[in-house]
Amino acid sequence: MKILVTGGAGFLGSRLIRALLDGKGPMPRVDKVVSADLAACPVKDARVESRVGSIADPLFVAAAVDADVDVIYHLAAVLSGQSEGEFDIGMQINVDATRALLEACRHLAKPPRLIFTSSLAVFGGPMPEVVPEDLVLMPQSSYGAEKAIGELLVGEYTRKGFVDGIVCRLPTISVRPGKPNSAASSFVSGIIREPLAGVPSECPVPVDTRLWISSPDLAVKNLVRAGALDGARLGLRRTLNLPGICVTAAEMLDSLERLGGKPARALVSLTDVPRIAAIVCSWPGAFDVSRPLALGFEADQSFDSIVKQYMEGLATA
Ligand SMILES: NC(=O)c1ccc[n+]([C@@H]2O[C@H](COP(=O)([O-])OP(=O)(O)OC[C@H]3O[C@@H](n4cnc5c(N)ncnc54)[C@H](O)[C@@H]3O)[C@@H](O)[C@H]2O)c1
C-alpha cells in the first residue's frame, strides 16, 4: 500500500502518518508514505519520503502523485482565520490546489482512494439543533466556502471515475498541543492547553456557544478508517460528518476546573471578539451521525476524557 499525505508535516497529517505506519488500524500494510508539504515531515521512518514544496505549484502537485499511489489524504490547507483575512491565498490553496491534485489523479491507471478533509464550516445560516446529513450548505466564511467547493470537486471527480473520493467533515479538534494557530477555532484548544500550562487564555465567544469536538486521536483513527472503507458501503453519499461530541464553552471550562483545578480555570478570561464569534457561532453544534457510527466511525466518550487524553500525553511527552 502506497499513500500520499498532503499536509503531512501538519498537526493532523503527521499524526495520521504515524497511525498509518503503526499498522494497528483497518488499513492494509503500508509500505510507503509520501508527505507533500511546505515543511519537512517530522516523522522519522524509513518508509516516509518527505517532498517539500507548495501545492500552489501544479508541477509540485503532479510530482507528488506517484503513478502507483493507492490512497491520497488531502489535508494541506489554509485554515479559517487566514482564509478569511487573505482571500486570494485561501482560494489558491484550498480550491485551486485541490483541483490541481484531482487533475494529477485523473489520468492514473487506477483511480486512487482520495480522502478530503472538509469542515463543519460548510454549514451556516438557520439550522436545526441537530444537523441532518442532507442540510443545505450555506457557509458563512471564506474557509467554509472553499471547503464546500472542494467537496463538490471531489464528488464530481468521483462520479467521473477519476478518483474514489470520500469527504470527511472533521469536528473541531481539541485539545491541540503546541501554540495557537490561524484557525478561528484556535481558542477551543487554547482555553484548556494554556491554563494547564499556567498561561492565561481568552474565550472569545459566549460561553453558551455549542461546539462539535473530537480529540486528535479519534479524528486520526476515523481518517484511517475512511481510507480503508469499502466505497460500496457509501453508495452515492460520499460525504461524512465525522462523529464528535457537542459541548458548550462553559462545559469545557467546567472540565478544565474538574481536572486542572480552580487556579487553572481562573486563568481563562471571558472576552468578546466579534471577528471570531461571527465565524465560530455560525457553525453547527451537533450532528446526526447515525450513518457514520453504523459504518464503524467513533466519537469520544466525554470532554473530560478528551482533556485526560491531552494531560496523559503531556505526562509522557
Ligand atoms: N484541526 C481541526 O480542528 C480541523 C477541523 C476541520 C478540518 N480540518 C482540516 O484538516 C486538515 C489538517 O488540519 P490541521 O489542523 O492538521 O492543520 P495544520 O495547519 O496543522 O496542517 C496543514 C498543513 O498544510 C500545509 N500547507 C499549507 N499550505 C500549503 C501549501 N501551499 N503547500 C503545501 N502544504 C501546505 C502546512 O504546512 C501544514 O503542515 C486541513 O485540511 C483542515 O482544513 C482541521
Per-residue pLDDT tens for 175-212? 999 998 878 899 999 999 999 999 999 999 999 999 99
- Look at residue 151 in the predicted model and tell me its pLDDT: 98
List the grid coordinates of 40. Answer: 519537512
The rounded mean pLDDT for the chain is 95
Largest CA distance in the chain: 59
Task: Specify the ligand 1 atom closest to the Cα of 8.
Answer: 39
Please report the atom of ligand 1 found closest to the CA of residue 118: 7
Separation CA 7–CA 98 (nearest Å)? 12
Is the minimum distance from the CB of 119 to ligand 1 under 6 angstroms? yes
Q: What pLDDT, in 10s, does the model give residues 212-241?
A: 999 999 999 999 999 999 999 999 899 999
Q: Where are the alpha helices (DSSP H) in 107-229?
A: 142-159, 187-196, 216-228
14: left (phi over 0), alpha (psi -120 to 50) or beta: alpha
Q: Are 113 and 162 in contact (CB under 8 A)?
A: no
Cα–Cα dist 257/289, whole Å = 29
240-256, pLDDT tens digit by residue?
A: 999 999 999 999 999 99
What does the pLDDT read at residue 182? Answer: 79
C-beta 10 within 6 A of ligand 1? yes
CA gap 147, 82 in Å, rounded: 14
Q: How far is the CA of 299 from the centre of ligand 1 (A)?
A: 21
> Which of the four pLDDT bands, split at 50, 70 and 90, describes residue 23?
confident
What separation in Å is there between the alpha carbon of 77 and the centre of ligand 1?
4
Q: How far is the CA of 13 from the centre of ligand 1 (A)?
A: 8
CB 298 within 8 A of CB 222: yes
Atom of ligand 1 nearest to the CA of 93: 31
Q: 262-280: per-residue pLDDT in tens?
A: 999 999 999 989 999 998 9
Distance, in Å, from the CA atom of 98 to the CA atom of 91, rounded to the nearest integer, reads 10
pLDDT at 107: 86
Which CATH code of 3.40.50.720, 3.40.1350.10, 3.40.50.300, 3.90.230.10 fits the domain covering 2-171+215-241? 3.40.50.720
Interval 27-52 mean pLDDT:
97
The ligand 1 atom nearest the CA atom of 9: 39
Query: Average pLDDT in the 12-24 region?
Result: 95
CA dihedral over 236, 242, 243, 245, signed as positive or negative: negative
Give residue 162's pLDDT band: very low, low, confident or very high (50, 70, 90): very high
Task: Report the nearest-CA residue for atom 12 of ligand 1.
Answer: 75
User: If we measure between CA atoms, which residue out of 194, 204, 209, 304 comes closest to residue 259?
Assistant: 304
Q: What is the pLDDT of residue 316?
A: 74
* Backbone angles phi and psi of 246, in degrees to 5: -95, 120
Report the SS3 class of residue 280: helix
Cβ(17) to ligand 1 under 6 A?
A: no
Query: What does the pLDDT look like over 100-154, one tens digit per residue?
Result: 999 999 989 999 999 999 999 999 999 999 999 899 999 999 999 999 999 999 9
Rounded to the nearest whole angstrom, what is the distance from the C-alpha of residue 68 to the centroid of ligand 1?
25
The number of angstroms, rounded, from the C-alpha of 236 to the middle of its chain's C-alpha atoms is 22
Tell me which of 16, 37, 143 to substitute to probe ligand 1's pocket, judged by most ligand atoms within 8 Å of the beta carbon: 37
Is 143 in the active site? yes
Residues 6+ apart with CB under 8 A from 271: 202, 203, 204
State the pLDDT at residue 111.
Answer: 97
Instruction: Tell me what pLDDT residue 81 has.
Output: 87
Show the cell assigned to 218: 479519534
Q: Domains of the chain: which residue ranges?
A: 2-171+215-241
